[in-house]
Structure 1
Amino acid sequence: MSATADHADGKSGVPNIAARLGLEAGWVVQEIGYDDDCDDDLRAAIREITGEDFAGEDTDEVVDAVLLWFREDDGDLVDAFFDILTDLKAGGVVWLMTPKVGRDGYVETSDITEAAPVAGLATTSTLSVTDDWSATKLVVPKSGRRG
């Protein structure tokens, strides 16, 4: 059951890119930092794969994944990471969405790699997901979360 095969509708590859995020049907995804500049096609493709609406920023649910839209002027990245860890289940994933180089709000890669370990996160990969946005996958290392 490949989400890629099931959702490849040919719209500029966005459903295929959403499937590459590794999200699964039934997953609860919390979306933080949504604004008018976010990619609505990617958001729709994620909802199609999971079959769920996004959980909001003020959810009380434990979530499988967090979609964090973050721009240079959005504040402190370390604080944003600490805020999202409250609702993320053990083994969950964070997809940090940042504007690409040359776009308004671009976040330096070094800012991400410096902020992640301070919050107890590790970066694992980065994907180009749309014309304007990159996605960096962050996880809590197995030894990093105390029970």
Structure 2
Amino acid sequence: MNETASKNAEEFGFHEGDIVQEWLWDDDVSETIREKIMDLTGQDLVDEDYASAVDGVIIWWRDGDDEDDLADTIVDAYSVVGEDGPLWIITPKPGRSGAPASNTVQSAAKTAGMNAATPLTVSEDWNGIRLRAFGKGR
């Protein structure tokens, strides 16, 4: 497991004071990941109904959720975070309940005009995939 992510969530690219919006929370999400992000930023996570711009976004995604809905969610999230803020899709790791097919996030990201990075282990049961607009950074 990536030690930076497992210890303090800095791998997400969030910083102290950042407002991070959380999409599609449910009772199966990793409270450890959530707590580490809140400890790092010093802020509570805000939900998808938050009505102002944010500094970063995490989207919890599981198999069985509609791929077109994921593309729409990515577009909606990107509209509040903009091109400079980290935008992450967090999915159950392969072999875990709710793990999506390997191409689901890639395909939805492409539909939404984004590139999806290689999955990164962010906890024992969850992977994170950072998205960037086409033509932006690494």
TM-score by length of 2: 0.85
Superposed counterparts of 1:59-70, under 5 Å: 59-70=50-61
Percent of matched pairs sharing the same residue: 34
Q: 5 Å matches for 1:63-78?
A: 63-75=54-66, 76-78=69-71
- 1:22 aligned to which of 13, 27, 46: 13
Which segments of 5 or more consecutive residues in structure 1 lack a partner in the other structure? 5-12
Cα shift at 1:69? 0.3
Q: How far did residue 85 of structure 1 move?
A: 1.9
Partner of 1:116: 109
Alpha-carbon distance between aligned partners in 2 of 1:125 and 1:81, rounded to the nearest angstrom = 17
Between the aligned partners of 1:80 and 1:72, the Cα distance in structure 2 is 15
Per-residue deviation, 1:117: 1.7
Corresponding residue of 2:35: 44
Alpha-carbon distance in structure 2 between the residues aligned to 1:121 and 1:52: 27
CA deviation after TM superposition for structure 1 residue 89, in Å: 2.4
Find 1:104's aligned residue among 71, 75, 97.
97
Larger radius of gyration: 1
Q: Name the Cα RMSD after superposition.
A: 1.7
Structure 2 partner of 1:87 = 80
4+ residue segments displaced more than 3 Å: none
- Larger RCO (CA under 8 A, 6+ residues apart): 2
Number of aligned residues: 131
State the shift of 1:124 in Å.
2.6
- For residue 24 of structure 2, the aligned residue among 15, 33, 40 is 33
Q: Which amino acid aligns with 1:137?
A: R
**1:42-80: per-residue Cα shift (whole Å, max 9, x none)?**
110100101111121111111111110011122332122
